[in-house]
Amino acid sequence: MAKQTLGLGSAANDNTGDTLRVGGDKINDNFNEIYTGIGNGTTLSLSVTNAAVGQVLRYNGSTFLPSDYTNLTAGLDVNGNSIVSSSNGNINIAPNGTGNLTLGVGGVTNTFTGADGIIDMPTKVKYKNEWASLGAAPAAATYTGYFFTVDGDDNPYVNINITAGGVGDTRAKLLTQYSGVNDLVDVDTNTAAPTNGQVLKWSSSGSKWAPANDDSGISSLNLWASVAGDTGSTTANTGSDTLTIAGGTNITTVVSGDTLTVNFSGTLTTTFAALTDTNVGGLTQGDSLFYNGTNWVPTRSPITWWEVNADGANHYTINGPGFSAATNDPTLYVQRGQTYAFDNSVQGAGHPFRIQSTTGLAGTPYTAGQTGSGITVLYWTVPMDAPSTLYYQCTLHALMNGTINVIT
């Protein structure tokens, strides 16, 4: 309702104002509306007792009481307005405990982590970090890892703790494509400016790299140190030393421009017969060459080579084609017209090897088709009319023997 005003009349006691009842009713109506509007109809829900400057009335569930404005109960919509401070005061946004502070902008949430103080900005950051002078930048010991530039300085800097050499916390100058080699702390190109063709060499006196000639410190520069041949060697000892490549027997050398040519002036060997380790006398069509330990010599058929050895005085051991391992006194199978080599060169002196037509130490020797020796290498081309059964025997030990079966 609208506020009800008491009718006071035109003058005192002129009987033109409200009666006492009407006036009292208006007063009750006004108070009822107040107690209903800011109370429960009987008791006011508001107190300003002990109110202080800057406080607000905050509802505690039953009563509005003076209170500091310390927390929000709903989202704060500034509606395009600003949050400002007066008298140069700070604006503090401080989450409680390890709570995070998040800023959501453009669909990206940037987080100031309360647990460790790390700022996580998962998008690009555009900022200016240039100081008027190097001394104005934050101290290296306090802001380690801080990157910045200095107005008028071509090099960026980073605050870093250098452990090498005990440097410690320092502002380190970073090199860019516009830096020079002299910007390195161990290079000095100012004391002596470099000239064309010079290189950087270590100067122990200044403990820095400095410009110097290639051959500085030596009387001459050798292009080769030493050369060794089949016999003899030589070492370059002057900057103008000459290495001569001389031809040997039937060899000549020619240098033309930058090319060294080595020529052979002898006679090339183009036949087996001209080789020093061949003996092809009597070679006919169909023959093969085999190595007899000294030379390559002809043989009328392929050779099967067996190694003959001894197991004490009781057994011959034979190994080679047809055997997976050395075998005691095996039965041998040979083919007419084929050649076999019995290599007894290891034990031959103590166990001479002989082929016989009958058994025993007194057996009849069979020598047809044989060359060589039973105490070194015995070569045997089996005759076409050889008996079907022959024997091998140690001529000194009766137990060392075996059978040879001859097949067509």
3-state secondary structure of 34: helix
Pick from 332, 299, 302: nearest CA to 405: 332
Please say whether the beta carbons of 103 and 109 come within 8 A: yes
- For every one of its 408 residues, what pLDDT tens digit does the chain have, with 9 covering 90 and above? 889 888 888 888 888 888 889 989 989 999 899 898 888 888 888 888 989 998 888 888 888 888 887 777 788 888 999 989 988 899 888 888 999 999 988 889 999 999 998 999 998 888 899 999 999 999 999 999 999 999 999 889 999 999 988 889 999 999 998 888 988 889 999 999 999 989 999 999 889 999 998 765 566 666 667 888 888 888 877 767 788 888 888 899 999 988 989 998 888 888 878 888 888 887 776 677 878 778 888 776 688 999 999 999 999 999 999 999 999 999 999 999 999 999 999 999 999 999 999 999 999 999 999 999 999 999 999 999 999 999 999 999 999 999 999 998
Query: Degrees (nearest 5) of the Cα angle 285, 291, 294?
Result: 125
- CA-to-CA separations, 267 to 95, 263, 270, 274, in angstroms, rounded: 100, 12, 9, 11
Q: How many residues does the chain have?
A: 408
Q: Which two tokens stand for residue 53?
A: 């400057």
- Say what the alpha-carbon torsion angle 29, 30, 31, 37 is, to the nearest 10 degrees: 100
Give the pTM.
0.39
Backbone dihedral region of 66: left (phi > 0), alpha (psi from -120 to 50 degrees) or beta? Answer: beta
Q: Show the domains of the chain with their CATH numbers.
A: 20-66 (no CATH), 301-407 (2.60.40.420)
The per-residue DSSP string of 129-163 comes to -EESSGGGSPPTTTSTT-EEEETT-SS-EEEEEE-
3-state secondary structure of 388: coil
User: Which amino acid is residue 329, in one-letter code?
Assistant: D
User: Residue 379: CB partners within 8 Å, gap ≥ 6?
Assistant: 303, 339, 340, 341, 370, 371, 372
Q: Which two tokens stand for residue 405?
A: 């079966």
Radius of gyration for the alpha carbons in the chain, expressed in angstroms and rounded: 59
